[in-house]
Amino acid sequence: MFKKKSVLVSTLLVVAMSFNMISFNSFAEEAPDEESEVTYVLPEAPEEETEVFPEEPVVAEESADPGYKVTFALLEDWGDGYNAGVTIENTSDRVIEDWKLSMAYDAPDFTTIWNGVVESHENGVFVINNCGWNQDIPVGGSVFFGFSVGAAFNGEPTDFKNLNAKTDTQEEDYTVTYEVIADWGAGFTGQVTITNNTDKTIEDWGLEFDFANEITQIWNGIIEQHENGRYVIKNAVYNQNIPAGESVSFGFNVVAPWDNPDVTVDSSAQINDYVLTKYSEEAEALILAIYGRVIHAVNGSSIEGAVVRLREGKDNQEGDFIAEAVSTENGDVQFAVKEGDYTAEVSIDGFITGYFNVTAVEQESIEPVIMAISPVLPEGQYRIVLTWNPTPKDLDSHLDIYGEDGGKVASVFYSKKKLSSNGEVVATLDVDNTRGLGPETITIDIDNEYFKGKTLKYVAYNYSRTPVITESGATVNVYKGSVLVDTFEVPTSGSGNAWYVFDIDADGVHEVNELIQYSYSNT
């Protein structure tokens, strides 16, 4: 556990969002970055290492027209690292939509972040984007994101700015159509359809147009403003984003007032001079999550302090990392990332660096990807590590040894966990997991005289039977000495109760990767 040394809270009021900047009648002009200068006073540090909780955060002088307030808090400080958090509070009378915060901060890259995504870190400025599910801040509400830094605390961030201001969409990026779908003389029903012509999502759409009628009822949209025949229509929240190549529609009724016969309606009137608005020029992809758990491949215990780094794409062991986290006391790591496949690199002193293919999942998912890493081995030893999905519950590792004549001479599996020769243990089943996820681990002293002239066959057997092994998501990592020498993934089609993965002989590992019907004896 980390020792708490001090807790520092400073609150900064940012006069960042005037009502005009977030109102729809200013969409036609690009809003500037929202920022203001702030002043604050830090509490004096105590002489002894004790926790300090100021009675009230020190707040900059309030403006007559505040937009939002940013509060930075040092949550935990253990000398060579710390946890901190930022709260953004909406102090305006309008929803802050699709927030994205920049801040000047003298700190290295975060080791992990939660409830936010580091979009960039350049020249001492961090840009933190929302996670999709927390993109809007209601009136009087707030959002919080936290992060860890693997270096000594060097002061709080400054110069906060909300970067997502409304902009006009290019005309060629969308199409607007209008039609009257019902007309009964004293009134009519109209429908407006907006089509996204681009290959990126249009987020938080709004539509301005001129219309020579009084809209009396609307659905799938909200009348944000109506003045001098100019309408500003806001999305209805549940339809706020228009995916690439798709459309949204809203409808309305125009009805002549029953108590004023001099007022008529004109169903032939068209909508004119329309302008579609959205937030950032490039809409962000859906933000999903990767959950991992780093464990010891030989004894199944959690590993704290492992560094887990992500690269985009499967089987990618080169190039830049896009995110980094350090495993907790329970071995857990979590990333908020865009949809897609990634490769996780896991490293810690004394262990062989491991690589694991991971896929981003919905935020609500709680099943971790097991990242079982092996301690460094003597050069003459192999280690086989099997992991899989939560179901089937029980996959079993079987190592069958065949003599030069092709006959089976020995096996290592759950019923025979050790194989000895001349008083020496030459192969062991280190971990037998029966609850899903794994690992199941076998270690082999391949340089022992016993294995000369022999072939070793490795099979993963589906003891649970259901679901079938092709749905198990099983992966086998093979280590030798100080390196990962091979990774195998179970076939996703075919039949059989077992996965025949590879053979090992004096020349190394030979891939088989087939589904088979397998049987064995416990005697």
Place of tokens 């810690």: 348
Rounded mean pLDDT, 4-16: 39
Cis peptide, bond prior to residue 261, ω within 30 of zero: no
Instruction: Give the pLDDT band (50/70/90) at residue 363.
Output: low
Q: Look at residue 200 and tell me if it is in a domain.
A: yes
Residues 216 and 293 in one domain: no
pLDDT at 438 over 50: yes
Q: Is 125 exposed, middle or buried (0-12, 13-18, 19+ CB in 10 A)?
A: middle
* Dihedral of the alpha carbons of 68, 69, 72, 75, in degrees to the nearest 10: -100
Residues 462 and 357 in one domain: no
- The pLDDT value given to residue 77: 87
* Residue partners of 224: CB distance under 8 A and separation at least 6: 23, 24, 206, 232, 233, 234
CA distances (Å), 15 to each of 22, 33, 378, in order? 13, 11, 62
**Least confident among 59-68, 217-226, 458-467:** 59-68
**pLDDT tens digits, one per residue of 38-89:** 433 333 433 443 333 333 333 333 333 347 888 888 888 899 999 998 988 8
Q: Look at residue 400 and tell me if it is in a domain.
A: yes
* Residue partners of 455: CB distance under 8 A and separation at least 6: 401, 402, 503, 504, 505
- The pLDDT value given to residue 263: 76
Q: Look at residue 2 and tell me if it is in a domain.
A: no
| CATH code of 212's domain | 2.60.40.290
Residues 389 and 510 in one domain: yes
Place of tokens 């609150």: 11
DSSP codes of every residue in 198-248 = SSSPBPS-EEEEE-SS---EEESSEEEEEETTEEEEE--STT--B-TT-EE
Average pLDDT, the chain: 82
**Cβ distance 97 to 284 under 8 Å?**
no
The model's pTM is 0.50
Residues 83 and 199 in one domain: no
**Cβ distance 396 to 461 under 8 Å?**
yes
Residues 349 and 429 in one domain: no
Residues 248 and 310 in one domain: no
CA angle 60, 74, 12 (to 5 degrees): 15
Highest mean pLDDT: which range of 182-191, 363-372, 394-403: 394-403
Q: Is the dihedral of CA 480, 486, 487, 490 positive or negative?
A: negative
* Residue partners of 416: CB distance under 8 A and separation at least 6: none
**Cβ distance 482 to 352 under 8 Å?**
yes
pLDDT at 427 over 70: yes
**pLDDT tens digits, one per residue of 130-155:** 888 888 888 888 899 999 999 999 88
**Cβ distance 364 to 188 under 8 Å?**
no
CA distance 155 to 159: 13
Residues 176 and 193 in one domain: yes
Rounded mean pLDDT, 171-187: 90
Q: Tell me which residue of 259, 275, 274, 255 sits closest to 214, measured CA to CA.
A: 255
Q: Look at residue 106 and tell me if it is in a domain.
A: yes
Rounded mean pLDDT, 464-491: 94
Q: Look at residue 1 and tell me if it is in a domain.
A: no
Residues 440 and 383 in one domain: yes
Residues 124 and 198 in one domain: no
pLDDT at 12 over 90: no
Domain-ending residue, one of 163, 198, 230: 163
DSSP codes of every residue in 459-475 = EEEETT--S-GGGS--E
**pLDDT tens digits, one per residue of 251-300:** 999 998 877 777 788 989 999 888 887 644 333 344 567 888 999 999 99
For residue 24, give the DSSP letter: G
3-class DSSP state of 171: helix
**pLDDT tens digits, one per residue of 315-340:** 999 888 888 888 998 898 888 777 78
Could you tell me how many helices (H) and strands (E) the chain has, helices first?
1, 36
Q: Look at residue 3 and tell me if it is in a domain.
A: no
Helix (H) or strand (E) holding 178: strand 174-183
Residues 29 and 137 in one domain: yes
CA distance 272 to 57: 51
Residues 152 and 12 in one domain: yes
Range of the domain at 223: 171-278
| CATH code of 321's domain | 2.60.40.1120
**Cβ distance 180 to 189 under 8 Å?**
yes
Q: Look at residue 108 and tell me if it is in a domain.
A: yes
Share of residues in the chain with pLDDT > 90 (%): 50
Instruction: Give the pLDDT band (50/70/90) at residue 302.
Output: very high
Q: β-strands 100-104, 82-90: how paired?
A: unpaired
Helix (H) or strand (E) holding 162: strand 158-162
Residues 223 and 260 in one domain: yes
Domain-ending residue, one of 329, 348, 376: 376
| CATH code of 480's domain | 2.60.60.30
CA distance 503 to 194: 59
- The pLDDT value given to residue 99: 86
Domain-ending residue, one of 145, 163, 181: 163
For residue 268, give the DSSP letter: T
Q: Tell me which residue of 81, 59, 77 sits closest to 15, measured CA to CA.
A: 59
Q: Look at residue 34 and tell me if it is in a domain.
A: yes
Report the b/e string of 390-399 with b at 16+ CB within 10 A: eebebbbbbb
Total domains in the chain come to: 4
Q: Reduced to 3 DSSP states, what percent helix, strand and coil does the chain have, rounded to the nearest 5?
A: 5, 45, 50
